[in-house]
Chain A
Amino acid sequence: MKKGVLLFCFDTIDHEYHKILERCVYLIKKNLKLEITVVTDIVTYKRLKPLGFVNYKLIEPEIGNRKNGQDWLNVDRHMAYELSPYDVTLVMDIDYFPFTDNLRKFLDTKYDFLISKNAYDLTNRNSFDTRRFSIIDMVWATVFVFRKCEKTRMLFDMVKYVKSYYSYFCDMYRIYDKRFRNDYAFAIALEQLNGFISYDTLPYRLPTLPPDCKVIGMDDTGLAWRHNDQINYTNDQDVHVLNKEVAHV
C-alpha cells in the first residue's frame, strides 16, 4: 500500500510560500520519512530550489480568499483525493512543521478519514476556541489523513458541493466568517455525510502559533518566537505557524 504526504503550495504577491515549503519538505523527509507530492503552479515551481526526490503536480490554482488585504490561494484542498497518487495520504499545510514523527503513525490505522477538531495555542491564550463562531464544531483541515475508498471519495464530493453553495451553508450553520474556509467546508461535509452525528477524529490537538507571534529562530528540532516582548521556544514538538513571515527566518 502506497503512503505519502500531499502538500499544496502557491506563491502570492505578498508571500513567498515556496520558502516555507522548502523547510517543511526537509522536516518531512527527516522526521516522517514519507514520499512527498507537491501540488503547485509553474511560477512557484520555478522558484523552488532542488528538494531531492519530490513529485510535483502542476495546476492553475483557483483564485482564493483575501486575508488582511493579501491574497491567499488556499481553496484547492477539495482536490486532494484526485491529486494524491497514494492509497493512504497525509495532507498537511506547508506551514505545519513536523519536528516529530507524531503524524506518521496515523497512516497505519484502519480509519478512512481522520482530522483534528482542536488546536492548541502555544502562547497559552486559548485563542483557537472556535465554537463561538458557528453552531458547528470546526475541524482543522491543516492536517488530515485519508485512505482512498468509496466513502472517502463521497466525502470529497461533498466538500465540493459545500464549496459550491458555501454562502448557503454559512448561513445555515451561522458561521461568522463568510470567507471560504477549508476547515468549515470539511466540518460541514463530515457532518452531512455522517448523518449529522459524530465522526472519527484524530485524538491530537494541533500545536499552533497565533499570527501575532513572530518566529525569530528555527533549527532542525524546533523554533523560538517573540510575543509581547516575551521570547519562548519549543522543540521536538510539531508547530503550525500562522505568521507567514516565517518564510524569512
Chain B
Amino acid sequence: MDIGELKKQSDLSYNIAVAKRNALEKAESRLVVVYREHIFCADPQTINHVKTLSEMHTSPFYILDTNKNPVEITDPKEFLQLLIERNQEAISSYHQMSKTFERRGD
C-alpha cells in the first residue's frame, strides 16, 4: 500500500467532486429566465407543467413565478420554446464539463 498514491487519488477525487458540484451550480444558475417581467426556472417541472397546460387547457392559463406570483401565459408556445432552449443550453454545457471530469479521473 502506497499511502502517497492513496493521498494523490483522494486529492484528485476531491478536486473532481468540487469541480462537478460547481459546474452543476453554474448550470442551475443558467436555468433562471425572465419572461414577461417575471422570473422562472427552466427546470423539468416548469417545462412539464407548461407543456401539460398548453395541451390540456385552453389558452390563456396561469402559472406561478419563482416568487409565487401568478402570471398569465397567453403564448404557451413561445414560453415553452424559451424554457426548453435555456434548459438545453445549460444542461449541454454541464454535459461538456462532465466529459472533462471523466478525463481527469482516468
Contacts and interface: CB of A to CB of B under 8 A. Distances in A.
B26 A124 contact: no
Contacts, number: 65
Interface string B23-49: 001100110111001110100000000
A204 interface: yes
Interface string A214-234: 000000000000000011111
A202 B14 CA distance: 30
Interface string A177-209: 000000000000000000000001111110100
B29 A232 contact: no
B41 A203 contact: yes
A105 interface: yes
A204 B29 contact: yes
Interface residues of B, number: 23
Interface in A74-113: 100, 102, 105-106, 108-111
B25 A120 contact: yes
B75 to A, nearest CB: 17
Interface string A139-160: 0000000000000000000000
Contact of A204 (B32, B37, B69): B32
Interface of B is mostly: helix
Contact of A109 (B11, B19, B34): B34
A236 interface: yes
B29 A123 contact: no
A108 B34 contact: yes
In the complex, the 5 A-B pairs of residues with the closest C-beta atoms, listed nearest first: A110-B37, A203-B66, A105-B34, A237-B26, A200-B67
Interface of B: 11, 14-15, 17-19, 21-22, 25-26, 29-30, 32-34, 37-39, 41, 66-67, 69, 93
A247 interface: no
Contact of B39 (A100, A106, A237): A106
Contacts of B66: 203
A122 interface: yes
